[in-house]
């Protein structure tokens, strides 16, 4: 079959800084199955996007997306359906996983794939009739236990240079400002995924579409991918965009030892997100020996009461220890917070601000608590009757209003007026000198 894969524009105000790994994995499966695959990356090729010829006529258009890309996905599905009337439009990614009904009802999307896409896409693209048979349906994920099975993303189909020169992590200190790298000498870097899923259940997070079971790729498998990226693209720095890369001490140490023994990738630096309830000094030492330059934490609050409400499953003592380790071993620190959780008060906000001051940390971002569809927080609003998931007109308006989580309050979960929550956010940014001061367009 002829297949056109689309990556819509995201975060217009910043340079394209994050390779769409999910779409890359889907491209690989489709190529392996013998399909003809063309990629259009609207995020990377912002000015010079090259459209396939009108007569390319793909059997399938596959679009990836996260929740804030709803409008773009809707527009692109219409555009390609008008251009190629017989094509079947398949949507995947967190957007299609969290609001499949809305996409099927309000847009030209024909099929939604929920969760991990590799196994399902393989099944439904056996031939055009099989694909057509699934029109107007949502297909649920089948989680693959052994994710080493998935071959690496098809990097060669994407405009890699755009992503490589705009790092998502450590080096890009202006990421919440204008998103433009401040220094031409930044290391060539790329984001990859070392594990999938997350065993935790924080109320604001949309994670379980990739399964509650955390699955890590083998150390050798990850190192093989880093080798390829160094050989083919001269990559010097890797940022793991996993939800929870450093969530098993044993597995991370294993990865670090093997990477350290590998003479070709030993010099590649890297960073990742961590869990403060897992990290310890022994683990950090192994990480540093294998090139780790930073562990980022979504701390979310400096109030134990709020952390409990968020179901973070961490203690402030664990945060203190994790931060002390960061300060002792790393030049780069990255912590984010959330304002306006259920239960937030003047007292808990002050606890968060005091925590930052006491620990001498400057948050990279302070977000508003936002009910993204599919999160426990969103589900609780549905259960309480505050949101009607099947009122598609309302849902569409709601989803279209979602943008930068650090710049707009979408829902007030507190017992205080909106203005109070806005003031908390401003005060928190001001008193801690947090990075995300600017307001951007979506």
Residues that bind ligand SF4 (CB under 6 A): 198, 200-202, 205, 207, 243-244, 298
Question: Taking CB within 5 to 8 Å according to partner kind, which of ligand SF4, ligand B12, none is near residue 387?
Answer: none
Residue 284 makes contact with ligand B12 by CB under 6 A: no
Q: How far is the CB of 195 from ligand SF4 (least distance, A)?
A: 11
Q: Which stretch binds ligand B12 (CB under 6 A): 49-57, 201-209, 306-314, 315-323?
A: 201-209
Closest by CA to 5, choosing from 44, 45, 46, 58, is 58
- The DSSP bridge partners found for residue 367 are 338
Task: Output the CA angle 299-178-332, nearest 5 degrees.
Answer: 40
Do the Cβ atoms of 338 and 289 come closer than 8 Å? Answer: no
Closest by CA to 373, choosing from 98, 168, 10, 89, is 98
Residue 11 makes contact with ligand B12 by CB under 6 A: yes
Q: How far is the CB of 326 from ligand SF4 (least distance, A)?
A: 17
Measured in degrees and rounded to the nearest 5, phi and psi for residue 409 equal -90, 115
Specify the residue, 233 or 329, whose C-beta has the smaller distance to ligand B12.
Answer: 233
Tokens of 344: 């937030």
Residue 337 makes contact with ligand B12 by CB under 6 A: no
Q: How far is the CB of 426 from ligand SF4 (least distance, A)?
A: 24
Question: Taking CB within 5 to 8 Å according to partner kind, which of ligand SF4, ligand B12, none is near residue 193?
Answer: ligand B12
**How does strand 365-368 pair with strand 335-339?**
parallel
Q: How far is the CB of 416 from ligand SF4 (least distance, A)?
A: 25
Site for ligand B12 in 83-142 (CB under 6 A): 90, 92-95, 98, 113, 116-118, 121
Residue 20 makes contact with ligand B12 by CB under 6 A: yes
**H or E segment and range at residue 258:** helix 249-261
Residue 64 makes contact with ligand B12 by CB under 6 A: yes
> How does DSSP classify residue 188?
P
Residue of the chain from 18, 160, 216, 349 that contacts ligand B12 (CB under 6 A): 18
Q: How far is the CB of 401 from ligand SF4 (least distance, A)?
A: 22
Question: Taking CB within 5 to 8 Å according to partner kind, which of ligand SF4, ligand B12, none is near residue 244?
Answer: ligand SF4
Question: Taking CB within 5 to 8 Å according to partner kind, which of ligand SF4, ligand B12, none is near residue 200?
Answer: ligand SF4
**3-class secondary structure for 312-356?**
CCCCHHHHHHHHHHHHHHCCCCCEEEEECCCCCCHHHHHHHHHHH
Residue 10 makes contact with ligand B12 by CB under 6 A: yes
Site for ligand B12 in 357-416 (CB under 6 A): 372-374, 403-405
Q: How far is the CB of 86 from ligand B12 (least distance, A)?
A: 18
CA distance 296 to 322: 10
CA distance 419 to 421: 5
- The DSSP bridge partners found for residue 5 are 39, 62
Q: How far is the CB of 121 from ligand B12 (least distance, A)?
A: 4
Residue of the chain from 4, 9, 21, 28 that contacts ligand B12 (CB under 6 A): 21
CB atoms near residue 385 (< 10 Å): 7
Closest by CA to 18, choosing from 74, 76, 93, 90, is 93
Q: How far is the CB of 35 from ligand SF4 (least distance, A)?
A: 32
Q: How far is the CB of 127 from ligand SF4 (least distance, A)?
A: 37
Question: Taking CB within 5 to 8 Å according to partner kind, which of ligand B12, ligand SF4, none is near residue 90?
Answer: ligand B12
Residue 241 makes contact with ligand B12 by CB under 6 A: yes
CA distance 348 to 368: 14
Binding-residue total with ligand B12 (CB under 6 A): 41
Specify the residue, 286 or 424, whose C-beta has the smaller distance to ligand B12.
Answer: 424
Chain position carrying tokens 């997100």: 273
CA distance 394 to 330: 46
**H or E segment and range at residue 2:** strand 2-7
CA distance 316 to 328: 18
**Interface with ligand B12 (CB under 6 A):** 10-11, 18, 20-23, 25-26, 62-64, 66-68, 90, 92-95, 98, 113, 116-118, 121, 168, 193, 205-207, 241-243, 372-374, 403-405, 442
């Amino acid at each position: 079959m002829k297949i056109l894969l689309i990556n819509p524009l995201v975060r217009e105000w910043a340079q394209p800084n994050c390779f769409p790994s999910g779409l890359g994995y889907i491209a690989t499966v489709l190529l392996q199955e013998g399909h003809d695959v063309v990629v259009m990356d609207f995020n990377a090729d912002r000015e010079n996007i090259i459209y396939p010829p009108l007569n390319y006529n793909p059997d399938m258009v596959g679009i990836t997306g996260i929740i804030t890309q709803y409008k773009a996905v809707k527009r692109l599905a219409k555009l390609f359906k008008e251009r190629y009337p017989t094509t079947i439009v398949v949507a995947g990614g967190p957007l299609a996983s969290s609001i499949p009904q809305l996409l099927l009802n309000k847009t030209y999307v024909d099929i939604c794939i929920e969760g991990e896409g590799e196994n399902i896409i393989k099944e439904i693209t056996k031939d055009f009739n099989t694909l057509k048979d699934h029109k107007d349906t949502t297909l649920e994920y089948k989680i693959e236990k052994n994710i080493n099975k998935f071959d690496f993303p098809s990097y060669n189909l994407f405009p890699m240079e755009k992503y490589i020169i705009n790092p998502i992590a450590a080096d890009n200190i202006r990421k919440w400002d204008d998103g433009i790298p401040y220094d031409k000498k930044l290391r060539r870097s790329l984001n990859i995924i070392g594990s999938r899923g997350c065993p935790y259940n924080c109320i604001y997070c949309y994670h379980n579409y990739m399964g509650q079971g955390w699955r890590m790729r083998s150390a050798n498998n990850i190192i093989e991918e880093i080798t390829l990226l160094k050989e083919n693209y001269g990559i010097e720095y890797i940022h793991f965009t996993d939800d929870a890369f450093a969530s098993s001490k044993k597995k991370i140490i294993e990865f670090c030892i093997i990477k350290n023994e590998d003479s070709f990738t030993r010099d590649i630096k890297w960073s990742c997100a961590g869990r403060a309830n897992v990290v310890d000094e022994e683990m950090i030492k192994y990480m540093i020996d294998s090139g780790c330059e930073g562990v980022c934490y979504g701390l979310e609050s400096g109030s134990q009461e709020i952390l409990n409400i968020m179901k973070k499953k961490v203690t402030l003592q664990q945060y203190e220890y994790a931060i002390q380790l960061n300060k002792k071993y790393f030049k780069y620190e990255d912590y984010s917070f959330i304002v306006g959780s259920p239960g937030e008060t003047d007292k808990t906000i002050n606890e968060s601000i005091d925590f930052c001051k006491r620990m001498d940390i400057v948050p990279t971002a302070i977000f508003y608590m936002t009910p993204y569809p599919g999160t426990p927080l969103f589900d609780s609003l549905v259960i309480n009757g505050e949101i009607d998931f099947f009122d598609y007109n309302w849902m569409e308006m709601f989803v279209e209003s979602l943008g930068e989580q650090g710049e707009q309050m979408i829902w007030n979960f507190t017992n205080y007026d909106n203005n109070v929550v806005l003031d908390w956010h401003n005060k928190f940014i001001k008193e801690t000198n947090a990075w995300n001061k600017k307001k951007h367009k979506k």
